[in-house]
Amino acid sequence: MKVGIIGAGTMGAGIAQAFAQTDQYEVCLCDINETFAENGKNRIRQALEKRVEKGKLEREVCNQILNKITTGTSEICFDCDLIVEAALEVLEVKQETFQKLHEICKEDCIFATNTSSLSITEISQNVGRPVVGMHFFNPAPVLKLVEVISGLNTPKEMVQKIIRIVEEIGKVPVEVEESGGFVVNRILIPMINEAIGIYAEGGASKEGIDAAMKLGANHPMGPLALGDLIGLDVCLAIMEVLQKEFGEAKYHPHPYLRKMVRGRKLGVKTGSGFYEYN
């Protein structure tokens, strides 16, 4: 089976790796140009090399996984059986991407989106075929959950197919009806926003807040480090969707989150957020 991943950023590359590590999948990793797509593949190469160095992956298997990933622009997806779109979190970008793919791809190719909070129903408008949500979590090669989201026009059989594919790649599906933030982000992102509020108000140091949640709630990482990992721009965009959908005060993005995003302190991807990265 051939899967096309659209968008070779952190999520796209992670999703491509998850598929390529499963025997029966070949992967087309795409971006707006060959260089961006190749950068995504290099990211996967680095992640796999680390596992080889640690003795957790054989060199030969590492090479086999990499050989299953072809890079390019979306035109190479013409014979794919499944598309997982992980492009920018902008409605128009996703709609246009799928409209173009509808012209390129086989009639029976399934269209899935990795959107973190946009409406599946809206994304599928004027695409020419239905779309299903297939929401992975960062780091995608490691985290087991995939939210499988139905829009108003997503056929039940399509949802069932995606659930089977999720299980094939060794992950765990949870079925979700479309609603703002789905399940995880509706709970997780307001928590990060709250942690930012405590920090901005001088309630505790960033290290203190993160240690508190790690040791007091047994989270694998603290909320501020997690915000950095997700990307503070992504956190802000999700808060804005929640605020628009539900209009409740608890979903107001904290001004300090806006300030960080304005200052391009977005976390791991820009090298600086609540913490510094190199």
Does the annotation mark 185 as catalytic?
yes
User: CA-CA distance, 246 to 244, in Å (whole number)?
Assistant: 6
Spatial CB neighbours of 90, under 8 Å, sequence gap ≥ 6? none
160/179 with CB nearer ligand CAA: 179
Residue with tokens 């993005």: 253
Active-site residue, selected from the candidate residues 74, 117, 185, 193? 185
Q: Give, for 237, the enclosing helix (H) or strand (E).
A: helix 232-246
CB of 35 to ligand CAA, least distance (A): 21
CB of 210 to ligand CAA, least distance (A): 11
113/116 with CB nearer ligand CAA: 116
Question: Which of 230, 236, 237, 266 forms a contact with ligand CAA (CB under 6 A)?
Answer: 230
By C-alpha distance, which of 182, 189, 200 is closest to 230? Answer: 189
Residue with tokens 């030969």: 60
Check binding of 226 to ligand CAA (CB under 6 A). Answer: yes
Footprint (CB under 6 A) of ligand CAA, residues 106-165: 116, 137-139, 141-143
Does the annotation mark 252 as catalytic?
no
130/181 with CB nearer ligand CAA: 181
Q: Give, for 36, the enclosing helix (H) or strand (E).
A: helix 34-53
Footprint (CB under 6 A) of ligand CAA, residues 25-84: 47, 50-51, 54, 56
Contact (Cβ atoms closer than 8 angstroms) between residue 138 and residue 88: no
Using a 10 angstrom Cβ sphere, with 0-12 exposed, 13-18 middle and 19 or more buried, the burial of residue 112 is buried
Active-site residue, selected from the candidate residues 74, 85, 124, 147? 147
Specify which residues 202 forms β-bridges with: none
CB of 140 to ligand CAA, least distance (A): 7
Question: Which of 63, 152, 221, 264 forms a contact with ligand CAA (CB under 6 A)?
Answer: 221
80/149 with CB nearer ligand CAA: 149
Secondary structure, 3-state, 61-102: HHHHHHHCEEEECHHHHCCCCEEEECCCCCHHHHHHHHHHHH
User: CA-CA distance, 267 to 278, in Å (whole number)?
Assistant: 11
User: CA-CA distance, 278 to 266, in Å (whole number)?
Assistant: 14
Does the annotation mark 219 as catalytic?
no
Footprint (CB under 6 A) of ligand CAA, residues 171-200: 185, 188
83/146 with CB nearer ligand CAA: 146
CB of 29 to ligand CAA, least distance (A): 15
54/164 with CB nearer ligand CAA: 54
Does the annotation mark 107 as catalytic?
no
Active site residues: 116, 135, 147, 185
Which positions touch ligand CAA (CB under 6 A)?
A: 47, 50-51, 54, 56, 116, 137-139, 141-143, 185, 188, 220-221, 226, 230, 234
